């Protein structure tokens, strides 16, 4: 009798587990197919795809598009600054950076929320140079909500009055800054400008080794520590579906956010 | 035995449902990168043109040179009278200092400031007591323009601005000058 009761318990547990499993699977599929609605059954057969781009001066630099078959097509059209870019003290490199949702095929794209992580650091001999100071790379940002720290090399280049959205400052170090875009990027949308350009801190000329003539007084030249090094800039674009955005962002990026009337805000 | 099998199936199913559903959300990422090489160089050159008793000295920053401050000094016999001419030069002690750095790059912040001129006019030979030739030598020195955001309290410096906003200050450390083919011709 006791053994029989135990079997009933196992059976009930089994039904319960199968029920939970079935429910979870259904909700998972719904999340993966965010644009499927009962009024648009064709979407079930032709799932809308995700595709986003990083733009420089309005032109795509790097694009990724879901191929509809479980893979992603990534296209890196060019680099941010060209193959032989150089910079001197006192010069500014203009690079207007925006992002876009599927500008090449707007009918097929799902709406997305986005964040951008900008990395800046030094390279020497094609390897990361940890001895050089990333704060000496000054990146000019635009349309930011939050206080950027110029001591870390992040500067404000102002906000556009008619900006399509605002970049919410999440965190910053001298090497990277994380920005969340507060507005939904619908298919075909281009974001507000987030970066305008960059320059190097003139103080890099204060870091030099000297060579002396025999008299010990006259310097025959300066061997600058930063001469010949390279600046590396990376603009990483992350995008997530707009459906169940708060949960999706938490799952994908581990960040608690609130989406209210389409506007994203960062939770404390 | 049957119950043990059932127990294993149950544990498997419960583990399965406890797997986070993060992967079920639709997200992606892409990255754009770029590299910029830094070139630092301090170099300038001097040209002289002597016509009669007038010496035109032209100091030019070499192409791609970083900003350098320039100063000149004139050596002459005590009975030779000279006069100097040139915009932007400030006499301080034995040297004339040019008050803005020059560099070898067209554009901000030292736009159109790759070449500077300094003119020395000496008295004519007829004014000397003997027939000896008098020599006038113009020596110039350069030093890299250094940058600071704290306004220097002395010495040669130039304020870089963006509109009305002060970006920083370029200053010279004349204790450390660059070796140049510094001595100009004689006259």
For position A2, what pLDDT does the model report? 52
Beta-strand pair A219-224/A154-156: unpaired
For position A76, what pLDDT does the model report? 78
CB contact under 8 Å between A90 and B10, yes or no, is: no
| Chain A nearest C-alpha distance from B56 (Å) | 26
CA distance B105 to B102: 9
CA distance A157 to A42: 46
For position A36, what pLDDT does the model report? 31
CA A45 and chain centroid, separation: 31
For position B17, what pLDDT does the model report? 53
For position A109, what pLDDT does the model report? 66
Q: Going residue by residue through chain A, which has 268 residues, state the pLDDT in tens, using 9 for 90 and above.
A: 455 565 666 666 566 655 555 544 444 333 443 333 333 333 333 456 788 999 999 999 998 887 777 778 888 777 899 888 888 777 789 999 999 997 555 556 689 999 999 999 999 998 999 999 999 999 999 999 999 999 999 999 989 989 999 999 999 999 999 999 999 999 889 999 999 999 998 788 777 665 544 444 444 556 778 888 999 999 999 999 888 999 999 999 999 999 999 999 999 8
For position A108, what pLDDT does the model report? 60
CA distance B36 to A252: 32
Q: Is the ipTM of this complex over 0.85?
A: no
| Chain A nearest C-alpha distance from B31 (Å) | 4
For position A77, what pLDDT does the model report? 75
CA distance A175 to A154: 10
**Domain B44-145 maps to which CATH number in 2.60.40, 3.30.70, 3.40.50, 3.30.2170?**
2.60.40
For position A23, what pLDDT does the model report? 47
Residue A11 phi, psi dihedral angles, 5° rounding: -65, -45
- Contact call for residues A182 and A143 (beta carbons, < 8 A): no
For position B129, what pLDDT does the model report? 61
CB contact under 8 Å between A235 and B28, yes or no, is: no
CA distance A86 to A84: 6
Q: Which member of A13, A86, A247 has the closest CB to residue B39?
A: A86
Q: Which member of B30, B146, B168 has the closest CB to residue A74?
A: B30
The domain segmentation of chain A, as residue ranges, is 48-266
The domain segmentation of chain B, as residue ranges, is 44-145
Non-local CB neighbours of A95 within 8 Å, separated by 6+ positions: A56, A57, A80, A81, A195, A196, A197, A198, B34
* Residue from B109, B107, B99 nearest B160 by CA: B109
Strand pairing partners for B76?
A: B136
For position A35, what pLDDT does the model report? 34
**Mutation for A interface: B4, B26, B182, most A CBs within 10 A:** B26
C-alpha radius of gyration, chain B, whole number: 33
* Residue from A208, A199, A229 nearest A130 by CA: A229
For position A169, what pLDDT does the model report? 97
For position A45, what pLDDT does the model report? 38
- Contact call for residues A180 and A210 (beta carbons, < 8 A): no
Q: Going residue by residue through chain B, which has 187 residues, state the pLDDT in tens, using 9 for 90 and above.
A: 566 766 666 666 555 555 544 446 788 889 999 999 987 777 667 677 777 778 787 877 777 777 888 888 888 777 777 787 777 888 888 888 888 888 776 665 665 567 777 888 877 665 666 666 667 777 788 888 888 888 988 877 888 887 788 878 888 888 766 654 334 434 4
**Mutation for A interface: B21, B22, B23, B36, most A CBs within 10 A:** B36
Strand pairing partners for A224?
A: A208
Q: What is the pTM of this model?
A: 0.68
CB contact under 8 Å between A81 and B27, yes or no, is: no
- Contacts of residue A255 in chain B, CB cutoff 8 Å? none
CA distance B185 to B187: 7
- Contacts of residue A90 in chain B, CB cutoff 8 Å? 66-67, 103, 105, 108-110, 160
C-alpha radius of gyration, chain A, whole number: 25
């Amino acid at each position: 009798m006791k053994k029989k009761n135990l079997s009933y318990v196992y059976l009930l547990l089994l039904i319960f587990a199968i029920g939970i499993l079935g429910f979870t699977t259904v909700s998972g599929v719904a999340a993966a197919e965010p644009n499927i609605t009962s009024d648009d059954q064709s979407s079930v057969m032709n799932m809308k795809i995700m595709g986003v781009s990083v733009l420089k001066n309005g032109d795509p630099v790097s694009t990724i598009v879901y191929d509809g078959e479980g893979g992603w097509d990534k296209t890196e059209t060019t680099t941010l600054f060209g193959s032989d870019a150089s910079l001197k003290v006192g010069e500014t490199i203009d690079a207007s950076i925006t992002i876009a949702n599927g500008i090449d095929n707007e009918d097929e794209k799902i709406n997305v929320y986005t964040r951008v992580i900008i990395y800046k650091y030094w390279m020497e001999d094609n390897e990361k140079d940890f001895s050089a100071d990333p704060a000496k790379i000054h990146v000019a940002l635009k349309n930011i909500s939050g206080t950027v720290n110029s001591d870390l090399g992040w500067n404000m280049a102002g906000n556009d009055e008619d900006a399509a959205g605002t970049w919410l400052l999440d965190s910053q170090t001298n090497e990277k800054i994380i920005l969340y875009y507060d507005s939904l990027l619908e298919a075909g949308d281009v974001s507000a400008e987030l970066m305008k350009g960059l320059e190097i801190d003139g103080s890099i000329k204060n870091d030099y080794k000297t060579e002396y003539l025999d008299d010990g007084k006259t310097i025959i030249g300066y061997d600058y520590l930063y001469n010949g090094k390279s600046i590396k800039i990376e603009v990483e674009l992350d995008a997530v579906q707009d459906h169940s955005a708060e949960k999706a962002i938490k799952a994908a990026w581990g960040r608690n956010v609130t989406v209210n009337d389409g506007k994203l805000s960062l939770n404390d | 035995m049957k119950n043990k099998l059932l127990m294993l199936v149950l544990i498997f199913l419960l583990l399965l449902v406890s797997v986070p559903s993060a992967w079920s959300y639709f997200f992606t990422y892409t990255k754009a990168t770029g590299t910029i090489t830094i070139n630092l160089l301090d170099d300038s050159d001097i040209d002289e043109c002597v016509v009669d008793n007038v010496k035109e000295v032209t100091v030019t920053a070499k192409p791609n040179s970083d900003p350098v401050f320039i100063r000149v000094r004139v050596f002459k016999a005590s009975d030779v009278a000279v006069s100097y001419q040139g915009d932007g030069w400030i006499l301080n002690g034995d040297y004339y200092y040019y008050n803005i750095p020059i560099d070898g790059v067209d554009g901000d912040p030292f736009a159109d400031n790759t070449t500077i001129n300094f003119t020395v006019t000496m008295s004519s030979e007829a004014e000397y007591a003997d027939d000896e030739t008098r020599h006038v030598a113009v020596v110039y020195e350069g030093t890299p323009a250094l940058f600071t955001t704290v306004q220097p309290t002395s010495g040669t410096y130039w304020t870089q601005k963006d509109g009305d906003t002060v970006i920083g200050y370029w200053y010279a450390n004349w204790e450390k000058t660059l070796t140049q083919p510094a001595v100009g011709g004689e006259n």
